[in-house]
Amino acid sequence: MTGTILVTGGAGYIGSVAVKALLKKNYDVVVIDNLSKGLKKLVDSKAKFYELDLVDDLSKVFEENKIDAVIHFAAYKAVEESMENAVKYSDNISGTINLLNCMVKYSVKKIIFSSSAAVYGEANGVLSENHDTNPCNYYGFTKLECEKIIKWYSKVHGIGYVCLRYFNVAGDGGLRYLDPDAKNIFPIIMEVLVKKREKVVIFGKDYDTRDGTCVRDYIDINDLVDAHLLALDVDYNGIINLGTSKGASVKELVDWTSEVIGRQVPFEYGKRRAGDPAELIASNEKALKILNWKPKRTVKDMIKSTYDAYKESFE
Ligand SMILES: NC(=O)c1ccc[n+]([C@@H]2O[C@H](COP(=O)([O-])OP(=O)(O)OC[C@H]3O[C@@H](n4cnc5c(N)ncnc54)[C@H](O)[C@@H]3O)[C@@H](O)[C@H]2O)c1
- Based on the fold, state whether residues 300 and 223 are members of the same structural domain: no
Residues 160 and 18 occupy one common structural domain: yes
Q: Which residues of the chain have pLDDT under 50?
A: none
Report the DSSP beta bridge partners of residue 65: none
Closest residue by Cα to residue 147 from 71, 81, 73, 238:
238
**For ligand 1, is residue 153 a contact (CB within 6 Å)?**
no
Crossing angle (nearest 10°) for helices 299-314 and 185-193: 50
Q: Is 77 in the pocket of ligand 1 (CB under 6 A)?
A: yes
Judgement on whether residues 140 and 45 belong to the same structural domain of the protein = yes
Say yes or no: 232 and 307 in one domain: no
Q: Is 12 in the pocket of ligand 1 (CB under 6 A)?
A: yes
Q: What is the pLDDT of residue 275?
A: 78
Q: Residue 159 sits in a domain of what CATH number?
A: 3.40.50.720
How many whole angstroms from 78 Cα to the centroid of ligand 1?
9
- The residue annotated as part of the active site, out of 76, 120, 139, 153, is 139
The CATH number for 274's domain is 3.90.25.10
List Cβ neighbours of 31 (8 Å cut-off, separation of 6 or more).
6, 7, 8, 10, 11, 15, 19, 43, 47, 48, 49, 50
d(CA 185, CA 191): 10
User: Could you count the other beta carbons within 10 Å of the beta carbon of residue 3?
Assistant: 12
Domain end residue (candidates: 242, 276, 294): 242
Looking at the structure, do residues 197 and 278 belong to the same domain, yes or no? yes
pLDDT at 306: 94
d(CA 181, CA 178): 9
What is the structure's pLDDT at 224?
98
Number of structural domains (the chain) is 2
Show the CA angle centred on residue 171, arms to residues 163 and 14, nearest 5°: 40
Q: Are residues 107 and 134 in the same domain?
A: yes
pLDDT number for residue 200: 96
Name the amino acid, one letter, at 89. Y
Which of ligand 1's atoms lies nearest the C-alpha of 55?
31
Report how far Cα 87 is from the mean position of its chain's Cα atoms. Answer: 22
Domain that holds residue 124: 4-169+219-242
Same domain, 72 and 90: yes
Provide the pLDDT for residue 312: 78
Residues 232 and 251 in one domain: no
pLDDT of residue 311: 85
Same domain for 146 and 262, yes or no, is no
Q: Of the residues 196, 227, 242, which one is the last residue of a structural domain?
A: 242
DSSP H helical segments within the chain, as ranges? 13-24, 59-64, 79-84, 86-105, 138-157, 185-193, 221-233, 250-261, 285-286, 299-314
pTM reported for the whole predicted model: 0.96
Smallest Cα–Cα separation from 17: which of 305, 255, 240? 305
CA distance 262 to 258: 5
Do both 211 and 276 map to the same domain?
Answer: yes
Give pLDDT, residue 314: 65
- Is 54 a pocket residue for ligand 1 (Cβ < 6 Å)? yes
Q: Is 9's C-beta closer than 6 angstroms to any atom of ligand 1?
A: yes
Residue that is last in its domain, among 242, 275, 295? 242
Torsion region of 67: left, alpha or beta (phi above 0 gives left; psi -120 to 50 gives alpha): beta
Statement to judge: residues 27 and 40 lie in one domain: yes
139 noted as active-site residue: yes
**So what's the pLDDT on residue 313?**
75
For residues 127 and 197, membership in a common domain is answered with: no
Distance 165 CA to ligand 1 centre (A): 13
Sign of the dihedral defined by the CA atoms of residues 67, 41, 222, 20, in that order: positive
Centroid of ligand 1 to alpha carbon of 36 (angstroms):
10
